[in-house]
């Protein structure tokens, strides 16, 4: 072992398994020798096996075989090699190389999943370690390399996709990295073929988001043809809540999202008011945990896949997807939430993704470095963004249209904003113009009829959201603002499938189409919060059971 190669620390990411925990793994798997130099798992390849090291040493290497090669640590006896992809089906992001001869237990991914479900203690230790390892890879910029210009919308698109789906990666900016040009020449890539996604030895040239998702096994290889008990459209907190409860209660469940698992919540750097996380949790981490739960219970998920139409054919609901696939379902949960509102400011599109952002996470903060920034909005999401950015960028100007903060923001956030010296609160102030050439340099704002210039390298916009319901056309009843009407708000009755032409009231959360439920922000009258979205997702499943009982009572299939 090279002198610089440290054993992994003994924290929750790299536990040593006891003999009792190794015993079932030994019984299920097979023993195999480890030979120095051998590659156990290669970055970019599927993670098809899990290894418990009995003797010898295995190094975990980032960017193996490249000038940027880095040993992240070394496993020795009773530690194990494997990452979250063993649960989610994603490929390996690092390479496992045997450094010292020894012996290991090798267990297939399928065998491991069965063991983890049956042995709670083992399951807890492995899942905790896998999640902690994923956080380490993300934090350390290990895994995929995205090479492009921060000014390119395609770089921004791919970066956002990788970040929001918690895919470990680093971004090599052609505008600032002196070695990037050299790297492109080495890979025989012209500048107009960027951005590149490099995984292991595989290079993708300006790929579509769907191609990257397919390479990372985030979309099923073949279109699912089976009939699902429940198809959940939208994988924000409401959709994840519905998928976890539906799958855990034995319903065959599919979950699709057009952008990323996590929805709006995954654009939040820190959610502080979600039950059970007293120190707060980042939205993307919360989403990752929920996605793992959903997968463990058997949910089939696909990202990025957009629902384009909701139909009812031959007694079943059909959700049509943008790739042409059709998911058939006995019941549907619509959890498509809402998407950010855009301010009416000239040159907005020119700077979107390169100075104008609708999320405030580490990615955006890194792009601002220590420069001053502007946050627009007077509600909780704007307050959260301001507090988060204050610790990472230069000064933050919070532009609020109203006369005071307390009108739209929770008290705890008002207190945080007001006690943060790096935040300037500008009340009765609106953004009017954006300035810059390629990079955003400043903005014009207006306060009480007077305009002034603010130096700003970025504008973070949080001015509310609109429901994602346009794809439904006239399939469902919606309110004047486009949110889906449910339950008693519908003021109509459904035909009772039990027959005799009897009518029944819609179930709570049931839409104007029997068997289609709406949960979370997309629903008219819902409380726009993570906890209430999760709660409605869970409640929708309860209603699905009731609806299926009505159906089955009428005509058993």
- Closest contact distance (angstroms) between CB of 525 and ligand FAD is 13
Q: Which two tokens stand for residue 217?
A: 């096994």
Beta bridge partners of 49: 108
Among residues 25, 87, 233, 485, which is the contact residue for ligand FAD, using CB under 6 A?
Answer: 233
Residue 268 sits in the site that holds ligand FAD (CB under 6 A): yes
Residue 327 sits in the site that holds ligand FAD (CB under 6 A): no
Beta bridge partners of 100: 57
CB 518 within 8 A of CB 225: no
Q: Which two tokens stand for residue 68?
A: 């940027």
Q: Indicate the residue among 263 and 487 with the shorter CB distance to ligand FAD.
A: 263
Query: How far is it, in rounded angstroms, from Cα 182 to Cα 420?
Result: 43
Give me the helices (H) in 459-529, please: none
Among residues 49, 520, 541, 547, which is the contact residue for ligand FAD, using CB under 6 A?
Answer: 520
Q: Indicate the residue among 95 and 295 with the shorter CB distance to ligand FAD.
A: 295
Helix pair 283-296, 120-139: axis angle to 10 deg: 140
Measured torsion, CA atoms of residues 540, 542, 543, 544, in degrees rounded to the nearest 10:
90
Quote the distance between the C-alpha of residue 55 and its chain's center.
37
Beta bridge partners of 536: none
Residue 528 sits in the site that holds ligand FAD (CB under 6 A): yes
Window 27 to 86, contacts with ligand FAD (CB under 6 A): none
Query: How far is it, in rounded angstroms, from Cα 12 to Cα 133?
Result: 9
Residue 237 sits in the site that holds ligand FAD (CB under 6 A): yes
Site string for ligand FAD, 87-126 (x = CB under 6 A): ----------------------------------------
Count interface residues toward ligand FAD (CB under 6 A).
39
- Closest contact distance (angstroms) between CB of 84 and ligand FAD is 20
| Closest C-alpha among 455, 333, 316 to residue 395 | 455
- Closest contact distance (angstroms) between CB of 409 and ligand FAD is 11
Among residues 265, 398, 405, 478, which is the contact residue for ligand FAD, using CB under 6 A?
Answer: 265
Q: Indicate the residue among 316 and 471 with the shorter CB distance to ligand FAD.
A: 471
Residue 381 sits in the site that holds ligand FAD (CB under 6 A): yes
Window 472 to 501, contacts with ligand FAD (CB under 6 A): none
Query: How far is it, in rounded angstroms, from Cα 149 to Cα 409?
Result: 36
Q: Indicate the residue among 47 and 381 with the shorter CB distance to ligand FAD.
A: 381
DSSP 403: S
| Closest C-alpha among 230, 87, 216 to residue 144 | 216
Q: Indicate the residue among 267 and 486 with the shorter CB distance to ligand FAD.
A: 267
Q: Indicate the residue among 74 and 255 with the shorter CB distance to ligand FAD.
A: 255
Q: Which two tokens stand for residue 229?
A: 């008990």
Residue 267 sits in the site that holds ligand FAD (CB under 6 A): yes
Residue 375 sits in the site that holds ligand FAD (CB under 6 A): no
Phi, psi torsion values for 440, nearest 5 degrees: -70, 135
| Closest C-alpha among 69, 65, 77 to residue 4 | 69
Site string for ligand FAD, 307-326 (x = CB under 6 A): x-------------------
Residue 236 sits in the site that holds ligand FAD (CB under 6 A): yes
Residue 160 sits in the site that holds ligand FAD (CB under 6 A): no
Query: How far is it, in rounded angstroms, from Cα 411 to Cα 92?
Result: 44
- Applying CB under 6 A, which part among 99-107, 114-122, 198-206, 331-339 lies near ligand FAD? 331-339
Q: Indicate the residue among 152 and 268 with the shorter CB distance to ligand FAD.
A: 268
Phi, psi torsion values for 365, nearest 5 degrees: -60, -40
| Closest C-alpha among 547, 515, 541 to residue 241 | 541
- Applying CB under 6 A, which part among 5-13, 244-252, 258-266, 543-551 lies near ligand FAD? 258-266
Q: Indicate the residue among 273 and 546 with the shorter CB distance to ligand FAD.
A: 273
Residue 256 sits in the site that holds ligand FAD (CB under 6 A): yes
Q: Indicate the residue among 181 and 415 with the shorter CB distance to ligand FAD.
A: 415
Site string for ligand FAD, 455-474 (x = CB under 6 A): -------x-----x--x---
Measured torsion, CA atoms of residues 311, 313, 316, 321, in degrees rounded to the nearest 10:
-40
Instruction: Indicate the helix (H) or strand (E) that contains 447.
Output: strand 439-447
Q: Indicate the residue among 34 and 302 with the shorter CB distance to ligand FAD.
A: 302
Among residues 13, 49, 335, 375, which is the contact residue for ligand FAD, using CB under 6 A?
Answer: 335
CB 71 within 8 A of CB 140: no
Q: Which two tokens stand for residue 322?
A: 């943008």
- Closest contact distance (angstroms) between CB of 244 and ligand FAD is 12
Residue 521 sits in the site that holds ligand FAD (CB under 6 A): yes
Residue 277 sits in the site that holds ligand FAD (CB under 6 A): no
Helix pair 19-28, 120-139: axis angle to 10 deg: 90
- DSSP code per residue over 162-210: HHHTT--EEEEETTT-TTHHHHHHHTT--GGG--EEEETTEEEES--HH
Give contact residues for ligand FAD (rule: CB under 6 A). Answer: 233-239, 256-259, 263-265, 267-268, 271-273, 306-307, 335-338, 380-381, 384, 462, 468, 471, 520-522, 528-531, 533
């Amino acid at each position: 072992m090279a002198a610089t190669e440290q054993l992994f620390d003994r924290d929750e990411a790299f536990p040593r398994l006891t003999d009792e925990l190794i015993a079932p793994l030994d019984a299920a798997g097979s023993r195999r020798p480890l030979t120095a130099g051998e590659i156990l798992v290669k970055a970019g390849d599927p993670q098809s096996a899990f290894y418990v090291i009995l003797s010898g040493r295995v190094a975990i290497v980032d960017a193996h075989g490249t000038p940027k090669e880095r040993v992240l640590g070394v496993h020795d006896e009773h530690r194990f090699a494997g990452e979250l992809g063993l649960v989610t089906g994603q490929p390996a992001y690092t390479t496992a190389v045997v450094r010292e001869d020894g012996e290991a237990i090798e267990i297939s991914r399928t065998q491991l999943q069965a063991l983890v479900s049956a042995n709670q203690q083992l399951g807890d230790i492995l899942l905790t370690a896998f999640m902690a390892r994923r956080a380490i890879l993300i934090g350390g910029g290990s895994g995929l390399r995205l090479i492009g210009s921060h000014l390119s919308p395609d770089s921004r698109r791919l970066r956002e996709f990788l970040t929001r789906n918690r895919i470990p990666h680093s971004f090599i900016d052609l505008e600032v990295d002196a070695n990037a040009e050299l790297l492109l020449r080495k890979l025989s890539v012209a500048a107009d073929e960027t951005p590149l996604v490099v995984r292991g030895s595989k290079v993708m040239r300006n790929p579509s988001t769907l191609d990257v998702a397919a390479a990372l096994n985030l979309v099923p290889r073949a279109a699912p043809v089976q009939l699902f008990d429940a198809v959940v459209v939208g994988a924000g907190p409401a959709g994840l809540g519905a998928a976890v409860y539906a799958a855990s209660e034995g319903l065959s469940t599919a979950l699709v999202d057009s952008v990323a698992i996590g929805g709006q919540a995954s654009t939040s750097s820190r959610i502080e008011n979600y039950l059970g996380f007293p120190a707060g949790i980042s939205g993307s981490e919360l989403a990752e945990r929920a996605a793992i739960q959903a997968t463990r219970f058997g949910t089939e998920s696909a990202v990025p896949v957009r629902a384009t139409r909701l139909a009812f054919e031959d007694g079943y609901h059909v959700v049509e997807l943008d790739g042409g696939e059709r998911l058939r379902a006995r019941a549907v949960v619509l959890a498509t939430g809402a998407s950010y509102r855009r301010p009416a400011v000239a040159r907005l599109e020119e700077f979107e993704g390169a100075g104008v952002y609708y999320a405030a996470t580490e990615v955006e903060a890194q792009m601002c470095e220590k420069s001053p920034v502007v946050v627009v909005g007077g509600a909780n999401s704007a307050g959260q963004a301001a507090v988060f950015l204050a610790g990472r960028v230069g000064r933050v100007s919070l532009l609020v249209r109203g006369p005071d903060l307390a009108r739209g923001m929770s008290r705890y956030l008002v207190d945080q904003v007001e006690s943060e010296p790096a935040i300037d609160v500008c009340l009765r102030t609106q953004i009017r113009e954006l300035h810059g050439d390629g990079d955003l340099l400043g903005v014009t704002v207006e306060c009480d009829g007077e305009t002034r210039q603010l130096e700003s390298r970025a504008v973070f916009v949080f001015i509310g959201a609109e429901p994602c319901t346009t794809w439904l056309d006239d399939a469902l009843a919606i309110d004047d603002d486009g949110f889906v009407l449910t339950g008693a708000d519908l003021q109509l009755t459904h035909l009772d499938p039990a027959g005799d032409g009897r009518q029944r009231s819609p179930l709570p959360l049931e839409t104007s189409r029997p068997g289609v439920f709406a949960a979370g922000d997309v629903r008219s009258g819902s409380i726009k919060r993570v906890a209430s979205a999760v709660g409605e997702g869970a409640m929708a499943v309860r209603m699905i059971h009731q609806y299926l009982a009505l159906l089955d009572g009428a005509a058993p299939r």
